[in-house]
């Protein structure tokens, strides 16, 4: 019998759900059995705010295990990956992306517009904090950490002390918890993080048989959108926890399929909000992202990114893991 492929994953419920989905899809497509191997990362052990932990804090241990041949491949939340390629490793597949939008979970079924001034809204991402402040709704934004259930408990549990939380819709969908969503946020109000909702399936570049095997999971439109978004992030030289947002959508244009990429850089206190868009072909995905980032830099995005870490009025310093 063929030995099971060893898939490395973080141990959180969301990471296990994501990895389990990839394992099942690979077995269904190729017949190869897969076993999950839990790997504890530095981000899982720390209670510090995510934007203070550094880029790649949730993936370095997985990559170390890959390099040491303790696992055969790994599944990451793509938005957690540093933009620089890891030597000797290769993103063999980007499966079809989940809905990348953010979701609001609020008491009494409220939407964002129905939250009163002074409402306490929890979220872990500086990008979301900045955009909530930019709305000018006088919300009290509280940075929070913890897994999905922990954060939901802060608004829905018996000891709830928040009026709402903002989470990635994709995570709730993968955990089967979309029933708690009171509003899926329009990207015009809350532009997602680059690569939000996408997974990266990574293996060693010298394992060509596995590279080819994992390729059956790749979804070309999802990969093109993510390439554009991450090229923008890389050109801005910003980390995955910076107040940078990007969303690429593929649609039919006059001359065939094209990418419509929106990008934003928002100061943590919401007082400066740069938003631009650009279109091009999927083959030029990376160049679209680089060009849009260059336009944002011309408008002063670098000065906004220099303010990272100042989360704005009405905030405490915590963070998020997922």
Helix (H) or strand (E) holding 248: strand 244-253
- Rounded distance, CA 176 to CA 277, Å? 33
The set of catalytic residues is: 80
pLDDT above 70 covers a percentage of the chain that reads 89
Instruction: Tell me the backbone φ, ψ of residue 70, rounded to 5 degrees.
Output: -80, -20
State the chain's mean pLDDT as an integer. Answer: 88
Please check whether residue 43 is in contact with residue 13, taking contact to mean a CB–CB distance below 8 angstroms.
Answer: no
Q: Which residue has the higher pLDDT, 2 or 110?
A: 110
Query: What pLDDT sits at residue 60?
Result: 87
- Rounded distance, CA 135 to CA 131, Å? 6
Query: What pLDDT sits at residue 51?
Result: 44
User: What does the block give as tokens for 205?
Assistant: 């570049």
pLDDT tier for residue 310 given thresholds of 50, 70 and 90: very low
R_g over Cα of the chain: 19
| pLDDT of 165 strictly over 60 | yes
| pLDDT of 317 strictly over 70 | no
Question: 266: Cβ–Cβ under 8 A, 6 or more apart, which residues?
Answer: 127, 130, 131, 134, 243, 245, 272, 273, 274, 304
Q: pLDDT digits over 7-25, tens only?
A: 999 888 999 999 999 999 9
| pLDDT of 69 strictly over 70 | yes
Query: What pLDDT sits at residue 211?
Result: 97
Residue 37 neighbours by CB distance under 10 Å: 18
Give the residue among 178, 222, 221 at the shortest CA–CA distance from 200: 222
40 burial type by CB count under 10 A (0-12 exposed, 13-18 middle, 19+ buried): exposed
pLDDT tier for residue 305 given thresholds of 50, 70 and 90: confident
Pairing outcome for strands 164-168 and 102-106: antiparallel
Q: pLDDT digits over 205-215, tens only?
A: 999 999 999 99
| pLDDT of 241 strictly over 80 | no
Q: What average pLDDT does this structure show over 152-172?
A: 94
Query: What pLDDT sits at residue 49?
Result: 44
Q: pLDDT digits over 178-204, tens only?
A: 999 999 999 999 999 999 999 999 999
167 burial type by CB count under 10 A (0-12 exposed, 13-18 middle, 19+ buried): buried
Cα dihedral sign, 130-250-74-38: positive
Tokens 């002063």 correspond to 300
Q: pLDDT digits over 1-10, tens only?
A: 678 999 999 8
């Amino acid at each position: 019998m063929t030995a099971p492929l060893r898939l490395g994953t973080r141990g959180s419920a969301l990471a296990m759900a994501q990895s389990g989905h990839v394992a099942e899809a690979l077995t269904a497509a190729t017949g190869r059995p897969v076993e999950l191997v839990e790997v504890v990362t530095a981000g899982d052990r720390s209670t510090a705010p995510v934007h203070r932990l550094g880029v790649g804090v949730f993936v370095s241990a997985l990559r170390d295990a890959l390099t040491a041949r303790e696992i055969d491949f790994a599944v990451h939340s793509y938005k957690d990956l540093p933009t620089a390629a890891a030597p000797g490793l290769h993103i063999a597949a980007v499966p079809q992306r989940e809905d990348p939008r953010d979701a609001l979970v609020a008491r009494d079924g409220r939407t964002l517009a129905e939250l009163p001034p002074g409402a306490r809204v929890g979220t872990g991402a500086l990008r979301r904090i900045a955009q909530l402040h930019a709305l000018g709704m006088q919300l009290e934004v509280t940075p929070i950490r913890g897994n999905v259930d922990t954060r939901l408990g802060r608004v829905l549990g018996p000891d709830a002390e928040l009026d709402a939380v903002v989470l990635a819709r994709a995570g709730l969908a993968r955990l089967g918890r979309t029933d708690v969503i009171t509003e899926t946020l329009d990207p015009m109000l809350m532009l997602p993080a680059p690569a939000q909702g996408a997974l990266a399936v990574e293996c060693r570049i010298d394992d060509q048989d596995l590279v080819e095997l994992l390729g059956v999971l790749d979804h070309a439109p999802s990969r093109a959108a993510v390439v554009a978004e991450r090229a923008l992030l890389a050109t801005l030289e910003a980390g995955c926890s910076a107040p940078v947002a990007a969303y690429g959508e593929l649609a039919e244009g006059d001359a065939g399929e094209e990418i419509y990429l929106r990008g934003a850089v928002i100061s943590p206190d919401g007082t400066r909000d740069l938003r631009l868009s650009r279109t091009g072909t999927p083959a030029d995905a990376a160049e679209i992202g680089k060009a849009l980032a260059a336009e944002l830099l011309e408008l002063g995005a670098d000065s906004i990114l220099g303010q990272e870490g100042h989360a704005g009025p009405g905030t405490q310093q915590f963070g998020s893991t997922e």
